[in-house]
Amino acid sequence: KVPGAGWREVLGCPGWKRGLGLALAVLAGVMPVMFGLQYLSEILLQKLHFPVVHQRAVELIISAKTPWLSAYLVFFAVVLAPLGEEFFFRGLLFSTAKRFGWPKLGWLGVSFLFALIHVNAPTFLPLFVLALALTWLYEKTGGLLAPVLAHSLFNAANLLLLLFAEKSGLVSS
């Protein structure tokens, strides 16, 4: 937190309702593209005889042995990771690159790095697209609230899909 600044200044709050509305609108537009890219990535990886595996975080959630561990992992994925990643990638790296006169590096380089740190080939392209969308939200609103909300909602939606897939027998625990 910047000395003398409140949370509204740090997060750049456009207002909760507007931030949530923008986050939902961006996700509605970007998630079908992301799912398509992930599907195509998985097909390509299979054709190239590369293993298609879950992200490590997904494996941890699927294999959690206790409800408390599951709850912690969900809290981490839906609250802590989006907050930390958005502060780091959009709030620090992107804004620094832009401030030094490298907006393209900010958009593309930081989005590339965001996708890369998740260390998962099938999700690289979808996460790159998500990072571009989160950066757009950051630019549009002038703060981190909307990107954090979108990132949190994205992770929550994926956890719900994972839970559904697990209960349906599509994913084994």
Dihedral angle, C-alpha 149, 152, 153, 159, nearest 10 °: 180
pLDDT at 1 over 50: no
Range list of H helices, the chain: 7-11, 16-47, 56-63, 67-75, 81-86, 95-99, 103-104, 110-116, 121-141, 145-167
pLDDT at 149 over 80: yes
pLDDT in tens, 16-58: 788 889 999 999 999 999 999 999 999 999 999 988 777 777 7
pTM summary value:
0.85
pLDDT of residue 79: 96
pLDDT in tens, 97-133: 999 999 999 999 999 999 999 988 899 999 999 999 9
Site of tokens 């979808």: 126
First to last CA, the chain: 40
pLDDT at 70 over 80: yes
Output the DSSP codes for 100-141.
TT-HHIIIIIHHHHHHHTT--HHHHHHHHHHHHHHHHHHHHH
DSSP state of 57: H
